[in-house]
Structure 1
Amino acid sequence: MNELKTYLRKLIYFTERETEVFVSLFAEIELKKHDYFAKEGEYSSKLAFLSEGVMRAFFRNTSGNEYNKTFFTPPAFVAAYSSITTKRKNLINIQCLTPCSIFVADFDKITALYKDFPKIESLARILAEYKFAIKEKREIELVTLEAKERYEIFKKEYPDLENLISQYHIASYLGISPTQLSRIRAKR
């Protein structure tokens, strides 16, 4: 729980009471490699804080091909955001790529605090703005940069991830085949 408190302090100034009220909504859960936090077609209602492990958000097309949208590494808030905010079914899956330790809260309980604790609502806005900026940056990179450049950015943004997850997942994230990724790595 200390990881969550430390992370919160980096995002917004909470009083001790605000911190305790917010953190009290979270319970620790251990997930195994390959476990799902969210599944496509289901409804999500939980917000998680990842303190250990690696997760991926991905979608599957009608042919069954998977496309990694993003990776989550600690410290990070994790959720199927469109589902928890719109109350619609998930469009994505969130899966553990390694064993994970997460703290989970019911999103409706968090939003119920907004009126009495405006800084919690401010935190939600800060997180949404951050997620939007990251999403926009990634979309631009996918259409404007060569695969080699995207790989270099991946290595800077996720410096240790390459040793923890399979080449398949990295290639999917970069929008290339594992063979293309092998060629890029060989040229380094």
Structure 2
Amino acid sequence: MSEFERFLAQLPAPDAARGRELFRPAKLERGELMVRAGDKPDRVGFIERGLFRVYQADASGTDRTLAFRAEGELVCAYSAALRRETSHVTIEALEPAELMVAPRSAYDAMVAASAGWQRLIAKLTEALYLRVEQRQTELLLADAAERYQRFLVGHGDLASRLTQRQIASYVGVTPEALSRIRRRLISINDEPAATA
């Protein structure tokens, strides 16, 4: 069963059928943008295969990674779509990707007309809110080493698919600082346990 079919299995059969009618297969190459900052988002994607990075550039042009999205997840510029404004984020394919894609306006109409889709999207929105809140707490209260350790706990399965620069951007440090954090953590873990 495909990731998309597993996703649709959460819906009553008529609602799942509407999703099958609306979403169409699409492919993106590594480095291709699904959404560019400044553009009005016009589609919603469901990731069958691939990995995406959601990021913003600060005033100096430095990328700040906000999130990663992988197989089994919806991907779109959520806040821009909700406000019907231009996107403040860029969404980049980090790997060749296969998606199921729907036009945003048709997707919104489908959700508005379906209690099953409304319940599912409410559940996904709640999960996304909790992830965003956790991320904000990490950025405000945790030091860089703690943020890196939390990244490994929460996204350890993605670590081998990401470059050091991408992980550093997510953690909020330079790649060089991330190397120092990694070395320090390795040396702490390699120290023999103190004996009584």
What is the TM-score when the length of structure 1 is the normalising length? 0.92
**1:107 Cα offset (Å):** 2.1
2:134 is aligned with 1:144: no
Q: Sequence identity, in percent? A: 26
**1:2 Cα offset (Å):** 2.8
Detail structure 1 runs of 4+ shifted over 3 Å in the superposition: none
CA distance, structure 2, for counterparts of residue 96 and residue 114 of structure 1: 26
Show CA shifts across 1:88-107 (max 9, x none).
00000000111111111112
Show CA shifts across 1:129-164 (max 9, x none).
211111011000111112122111111222232222
AA of the residue aligned to 2:154:
E
Query: Partner of 1:36 in structure 2?
Result: 33
Secondary structure in 1 aligned to 2:45?
A: strand
2:48 is aligned with 1:51: yes
Query: Partner of 1:2 in structure 2?
Result: 2
RMSD: 1.5
AA of the residue aligned to 2:42:
S
Query: Partner of 1:62 in structure 2?
Result: 59
CA 1:65–1:20: 2 relative to 1, 3 Å: same
Query: Partner of 2:194 in structure 1?
Result: none
Query: Partner of 2:16 in structure 1?
Result: 19
**1:34 Cα offset (Å):** 0.5
Contact 1:34 1:95 in 2 (8 A): yes
2:104 is aligned with 1:128: no
Query: Partner of 1:169 in structure 2?
Result: 166
AA of the residue aligned to 2:181:
I
Worse-matched range after superposition: 143-152 or 115-124: 115-124
Worse-matched range after superposition: 88-97 or 126-135: 126-135
AA of the residue aligned to 1:126:
K
Larger radius of gyration: 2
CA 1:44–1:68: 2 relative to 1, 3 Å: same
Worse-matched range after superposition: 15-24 or 165-174: 15-24
Show CA shifts across 1:58-110 (max 9, x none).
00122211100001111111000122222100000000111111111112212
CA 1:91–1:163: 2 relative to 1, 3 Å: same
Q: Unpaired runs of 5+ in structure 1?
A: none
Match of 1:92 among 89, 94, 97: 89
